[in-house]
Chain A
Amino acid sequence: MNRMKLSFCSHLENEAFARTSVIAFLMPLSMSVEEVMEIKTIMAEAIVNAMIHGYEGREDGEVIVSVSYDEQKIVTIIVEDQGCGIPDIDLAMQPLYTSKAHLERSGMGMSIMSAFADEFYVNSKVDCGTTVTIIKQIHGIEDQQ
């Protein structure tokens, strides 16, 4: 079992920092190119959601990313914010639904996270914040032969 935790303010620039840090932390798992891409995308979606939706673009919020993995290469990622919360999670999960169409959002973030994860959970409370949990089995490059 190995784990790490990152805490950073909701500056959009920090999304790339967090995404690449998570990939660096998971280096010992020898992920395939495809798995790296999937984890990067999951991180981008979860963090951008926290910043744009959770904190509604405010840059003084705190985003916490916790990542762990075990001997079986099962990775657990938790992304937390203390923002405005999601009033209707079922609606938010619908492909192409977005509450921010004027910002040219696609409404695909939740669907993408769900598709790239083995297990995907969203917990949210209005005015308290949102936590997304992603569990993903890494197969790595050795197993692909």
Chain B
Amino acid sequence: MDYQLQDQTLIFHFEGDFDNVAVGKVKETCAALIETHRPKLVKLDFQKVDFVDSTGIGFVLARYKQIKKYDGELVLCNLSSSQKRLFHMSGIFRIIRLEQSEVLI
């Protein structure tokens, strides 16, 4: 996982398997960075993610709740069609915006 912080935007780029073990490794770092900087916009980029399961949905929902507390916005970026299908089941797109373009700042 790497991240970029510029102005009021924080972007996390995840890669490989975003499974239970991987989420366990990054969630505290992500939560701490958000808490420290309180960026207006947080983007989670899934472009290089090969696999995601319900642990990933739990992670996204937890970050959404964390960011909403201080009125920030969370955006999901570059989900593959099967990842979109998986996230769709949780109704997540009713509250979280999806952006399908390359995220570069």
List residues of A whose CB falls within 8 A of some B CB: 12-13, 15-16, 33-34, 37-38, 40-41, 44-45, 48, 52, 95-96, 98, 103-109, 111-112, 115
Contact = CB atoms under 8 A, between A and B. Distances in A.
A12 B57 contact: no
A109 B89 CA distance: 11
13 contacts: A12-B21, A15-B19, A16-B17, A33-B82, A41-B51, A44-B55, A45-B53, A48-B55, A52-B20, A96-B90, A104-B27, A106-B58, A106-B61
- Would you list the 5 A-B pairs with minimal beta carbon distance, nearest first? A106-B58, A106-B57, A104-B62, A44-B53, A108-B54
Contact of A106 (B17, B21, B55, B82): B55
Contacts, number: 70
A12 B20 contact: yes
Contacts of B61: 104, 106
Contacts of A115: 89
B54 A105 contact: yes
Interface residues of B, number: 21
Main secondary structure of the interface of A (DSSP, over half): helix
A38 B51 CA distance: 10
Contacts of A41: 51, 53, 86
B53 A13 contact: no
Nearest to B31: A104
B12 interface: no
Nearest to B92: A106
A113 to B, nearest CB: 9
